[in-house]
Amino acid sequence: MNKISLNKLPRTPLSKTSFLDRNCKRRLDQFFIYSHVITKQVIFTIGRALQTKYLESQIKSFNERPHKIRRDLWKPILAISGFSSYTSVIATNNIVRDKLLNYPKPDDYLKLRRKERMKDDMDQLEKSVCSLCFALNKIVYTKGYEWDASSNLIIHWESPELKEISKKVGLTWPKCVQHQKLLLKRGTIPLNQEFKVIQKPEEFREELRKTRYLKSRRGRIESQKKEEKQKLMERLASIPKLKEILEENARRKNQIKMIDSGNNKNIQNENNKNNKNNGNGNGNENINKK
């Protein structure tokens, strides 16, 4: 396949951040499509986390949008693993969403009743599969070459019959894509080895817990106390012979107290003597008067 210049094709917004730097519990190298069991509406997610905020961003019509996500009503119909970079995941997500929003309507769409039109708009299961096939072909076409046969890009299907839907609109899956069965627990939780949560090393998690604790109110108070204590210790360590100075000051204080207490005792003794002398003098004067 000849290489094609990218300037002739519409540019898709791509993030320059690699999933290797941002890979965490969300598993940003994976792409999921969830389908509603009753209405057949779909939600696209990067990683397997399904959140209520995706409803407002992906289902524009207020009348068709569920109030919140009930996890027993949403199940993954397919999951893709093995993307080479985070930019390819973002590109796939953007192309699929744009294609689904601009998906062509049937010829008799305007002749249908309002409820029937709403049902047709909400039935997005087959449309999302065709949009995904279109997106993967476009990415391969934009790169200008076929991916290797040893590519790790794998589509895990909840039902293998969904894989054949793209043939109805004349689309075929790229040769670099492999197809496997999506194993589910209780119909919602993926059990395949590729979708297990990646745990960071214990040292990294310990550092993360410490940083979260220091950001909390209690952690900030304790860190402030430690800083004050450390500053005080540094200030005390900078003073030479601090212990001797403190002991000398304490000894001087004790001497002053002893002197003060001795002076008080002498003053009290003198006062007592004066009182006694005054008492004897008054007695002699009384005797002489008689």
* 265 pLDDT tier (thresholds 50, 70, 90): low
| Average pLDDT of the chain to the nearest whole number | 78
Which of 41, 87, 84 is closest to 64 using CA atoms? 41
Q: How many CA atoms lie within 13 A of 7 on its CB side?
A: 0
With pLDDT > 70 as the criterion, what percentage of the chain qualifies?
A: 75
**pLDDT greater than 90 at residue 157:** yes
pLDDT at 272: 66
pLDDT at 12: 41
Please give the model's pTM, rounded to 2 decimal places: 0.61
**pLDDT greater than 80 at residue 80:** yes
Residue 61 contacts residue 121 (beta carbons within 8 Å): yes
Residue 68 contacts residue 50 (beta carbons within 8 Å): no
Q: In sequence order, which residues have a C-beta less than 8 Å from that of residue 40 and are 6 or more positions away?
A: 122, 123, 124, 125
pLDDT at 77: 92
Pairwise pLDDT comparison (90 vs 289), residue with the higher score: 90
**pLDDT greater than 60 at residue 17:** no
Q: Which of 6-10, 25-29, 182-186 has the lowest mean pLDDT?
A: 6-10
pLDDT at 263: 65
Q: In sequence order, which residues have a C-beta less than 8 Å from that of residue 91 and are 6 or more positions away?
A: 12, 14, 135, 139
**pLDDT greater than 60 at residue 95:** yes
Q: Which of 71-85, 160-174, 185-199, 255-269 has the lowest mean pLDDT?
A: 255-269
pLDDT at 13: 43
Q: Cα 97 from chain centroid?
A: 25
pLDDT at 42: 93
Strands 154-157 and 178-181: parallel
What pLDDT digit, counting tens, does each position of 22-78 carry?
444 456 788 999 999 999 999 999 888 888 888 888 888 888 888 888 888 999 999
What pLDDT digit, counting tens, does each position of 207-217 carry?
888 888 888 98
Residue 151 contacts residue 176 (beta carbons within 8 Å): yes
Residue 128 contacts residue 96 (beta carbons within 8 Å): yes
Domain spans of the chain, in order of start:
6-199, 200-259
Pairwise pLDDT comparison (106 vs 279), residue with the higher score: 106
* 190 pLDDT tier (thresholds 50, 70, 90): confident
**pLDDT greater than 70 at residue 222:** yes
